[in-house]
Structure 1
Amino acid sequence: MKRVIFTREHPLQMEWVDKLQQVGYQVEHVPLIKCQINAIPTRVYDELQEDDWVFFTSQVAANFFFEKAQGAFDNRAFHIATIGPQTSETVQAWGYSVTFESDKFYAKDLVSDWCKVYTTPKRIFIPQSSLAAKHLEISLNNLGHDVLAWVMYETIYHPEGQKKIAQYIDDVPTIWAFASGSAWDSFYDVQKELPASHEIAVIGTTTRGCVERNGHQASYMPLEPQIEDMVQVIFEHGQNS
């Protein structure tokens, strides 16, 4: 038996679970983080009425934003920038169009790509996680844009998931899959070491850096930081093992 454990908040889509099971994996879900939405205060709504752009760097940010702000922009035009096709699809599912989509998957690339097209100062709103890095906000401000980065949701440890970790610390060949640095931090908060038969998969370089800072190594990482690409890397390993 071999096992893969996904630690993001939501379970994998069943088509991906089925794919991994085809190559012999037992697929488990142990959520190690959860997101809690924040209300948008009046002063932020007022700011939004003046903004030219809203930047979404994740599906979670887009979903939470439109859940709270739905209808707030029905009578005015504004533009939306996104990172990656999945975030764009989420925006479109809420009935809004995407003006600019970066085909890369990091905030620094979004800034670089967007600024090549839009060169005059803009008013920009960025709904984001409580754990989001400041790079996007700082870079845009340094380029002369007026930016409000608002904590749209809190990313916190998932205590129920953390309690489940111990039951999987055994000799079964296992891949722990982390789609964010915060999920790894939650894991490491309660489990400092891994059995020799356990390996780590990460979604991208930021998460890999979190793992390495704690003295561990990631065995698997996709070329692009997307969950389906991480699943594919694990699938290919399963085919060859």
Structure 2
Amino acid sequence: MINPKKTQSTIYITGAGPGDPGLITLKAKEILSIADVVVYDNLVSNEILELVINLNPEVKMIYGGRVGYNPAKSLEQNEINSLLVDLAKEYKVICRLKGGDPSVFGRLGEEAVYLRKERINIEIIPGVSSVTAVPSYAGIPLTHRDCSSSFTVIAAQGEADDPLRNIKWENFDARNGTLVLLMGVKKLPGIIDKLLELGRDPKTPIAIIYLGTTSRQSTFVTRLGKVNNDLMEMNIKPPSLIIIGEVVNYRDILNWYETKPLFAKNVLVTRSKEQSVSFVSKLIQSGVHPVNMPLVSYEFNQKELYNKNIINNLRNYEWIFFTSQNAVKFFFEILRANYFDSRALAGIKIAAVGYKTKVELGKYNINPDFVPKKFSFEDLVKELLELENIKDKQILHPTQEESVKEPILKNLKTWNIYRAEFTTSLDPNLVNAFNNGIEVITLFSSNTAKHFSQIVSKYNLDMSRSKFAVIGDETAKSVVELFGRVDIVANPSTEEGLIYSMEEYFDKARSKGIGVRR
């Protein structure tokens, strides 16, 4: 916990984990959420960087990495040290964010000692190391009672004229046990030759894992005696972790991550930036490579902000129907702007469409009186009419401009408190993403589907290889009208339901041998 009375600057040397944002520690997230500035290294994944921005939109992000295999992207250690010292003079909370665990070949000692000598306060926040996490995501245990009771971790870095000079071969059993090599791709041929020279069995299995724990993870398995020849054919790149030993054989049974139905699928996310955060997080947990294309953002309908005819007469309504998270959020912001809070709803019954809407109401200590089984306005009215005669009730429906046409209720008041602003242009990188193959396009509303079709026409995007995954019957109907088909409909109509339905779809396709990644 940060002491609010602390006036001295503190640099938090923080481990970001190996790439999967789900592996970052709670303490690291706490620091990132309050940091004034984050200095991140080259091994911090894009997914982690996006998490940082979501946690702390105002934070200043500064690249401070060393890249041995790409000098153009590399800062010298003395430059990084000086940068940290300068930042400590200007900011109170500085996060030095490093991939994996900073104490495992992360130059923790060098930076921490330097900062101490400069009389700068530091704290160290460990991270999940790639040494243990990456093998686990590849389905490879580092030890097993039947074949390996120990493992040795080697950083395969050294002087340019003799990159293997720093490896103390005499300090470990090169003929047995598990070897884990970090930073060893460029030096692997020399390491293999040395191990064979020391008597390691040429039939020993070896695994090379690229971008471990991310949706771009790939694992290449071969034998020690063959690997140098195989490297000529395989495009093995850093950052890769290398495992040598009999434990690699267990991957055939334990490969859990790369066999997920959605693993490495490029999934287009069209929701607003704010609303996509939880969905993207769930996609990443499923092994997906999310491609963010926020087509929509939501804004206040300013002319309704001080609509006294409604605000001062809320007590006249017997029901309020909330059909989206946004409706709840903007409604309570209007209350706050007019010096009201949830007490203004005393005696009024509340209906909520969808789990997310119910959760949003909970933030204001409101528990809805009714939630329909199906998540649409039409189903809300239909199901509620079966329980209560609401035809003559005074009902308020705070909603979005141009919302879906509503069933007629005599005394229903539609209040357009916010509007959607749709994107009309695409970043060139997103156009390239389509050219490289988007496997799933997710759409959450009819309006978003309509605007997406305009983007498709404007940029002549190829939809032939993409599957449409939607939430809600109305959205599905619109997608069929616009694109002639819909492939996946969420069941139930939630984020989790959509992901489950996507998994089910691709699992069935895989069982038929369709669209299987080799």
* TM-score in terms of structure 1 length: 0.85
Structure with bigger RCO (C-alpha 8 Å, 6+ apart): 1
Per-residue CA distance 1:56-95 (angstroms, 9 max, x = gap): 1111111111121142552542110112332122112112
**Per-residue CA shift, 1:180-215, capped at 9, x if unaligned?**
112222211121352432222111221122222224
1:1-241, aligned counterparts within 5 Å? 2-9=265-272, 10-13=275-278, 15-21=281-287, 25-38=288-301, 39-70=305-336, 71-72=340-341, 74=343, 76-119=346-389, 121-136=392-407, 138=408, 140-141=409-410, 146-159=411-424, 165-192=430-457, 193-239=461-507, 240=510, 241=516
CA distance in 1: counterparts of 2:309 and 2:427, whole angstroms: 37
Q: What's the % identity of the aligned pairs?
A: 20
> Structure 1 pair 162/7, CA: closer, same or farther in 2 (3 Å)?
farther
- 8 Å CA contact 2:271–2:295 kept in 1: the answer is yes
Q: Is this contact kept in 2: 1:33–1:182, CA < 8 A?
A: no
Q: Per-residue deviation at 1:236?
A: 3.2
Say which SS state the counterpart of residue 77 (structure 1) adopts: coil
With over 3 angstroms needed to count, the CA separation of the structure-2 counterparts of 1:164 and 1:150, relative to structure 1, is: farther
Which structure is larger by alpha-carbon Rg, 1 or 2?
2
Letter in 1 for 2:300: I
- Cα distance in 2 between the residues matched to 1:115 and 1:128: 20
Q: Cα 1:162–1:67, aligned 2, differ >3 Å: closer, same or farther?
A: farther
The change in CA–CA distance for 1:173 and 1:93 in structure 2 (over 3 A counts) is: closer
Specify the code of the residue in structure 2 equivalent to 1:53. W
Report the Cα distance in structure 2 between the residues aligned to 1:163 and 1:56, rounded to whole angstroms: 37
The CA deviation string for residues 125-145 of structure 1, in whole angstroms up to 9 with x for no partner, is 100111212324x1x22xxxx
CA RMSD of aligned residues (A): 2.3
Q: Aligned partners of 2:404 and 2:438: how far apart in 1?
A: 34
Summarize the Cα distance change of 1:114–1:195 in structure 2 as closer, same or farther, 3 Å threshold. closer
Q: Tell me, yes or no, if the aligned pair for 2:342 and 2:366 is still in contact at 8 Å.
A: no
TM-score, normalized by length of structure 2? 0.42
Whole-Å separation in 1 of the counterparts to 2:394 and 2:298: 27
Separation (CA, whole Å) in 1 of partners of 2:329 and 2:501: 27
For each residue in 1:8-28, what CA deviation from the matched residue of structure 2 results, as whole angstroms up to 9, or x when unmatched?
A: 11324254133221xxx3112
Q: Tell me, yes or no, if the aligned pair for 1:30 and 1:165 is still in contact at 8 Å.
A: yes
1:116 and 1:196, CA in 2 relative to 1: closer, same or farther beyond 3 A? closer
- Cα pair 2:268 2:438 within 8 Å, conserved: no
- Structure 2: runs of 5+ lacking an equivalent: 1-263, 511-515
C-alpha distance in 1, partners of 2:341/2:316?
12
Number of corresponding residues: 232
1:237, distance to aligned residue in structure 2 (A): 3.8
Amino acid corresponding to residue 205 of structure 1 in structure 2 = D
In 1, distance between residues paired with 2:367 and 2:311? 20
Residue 46 of structure 1 deviates from its aligned partner by 3.0
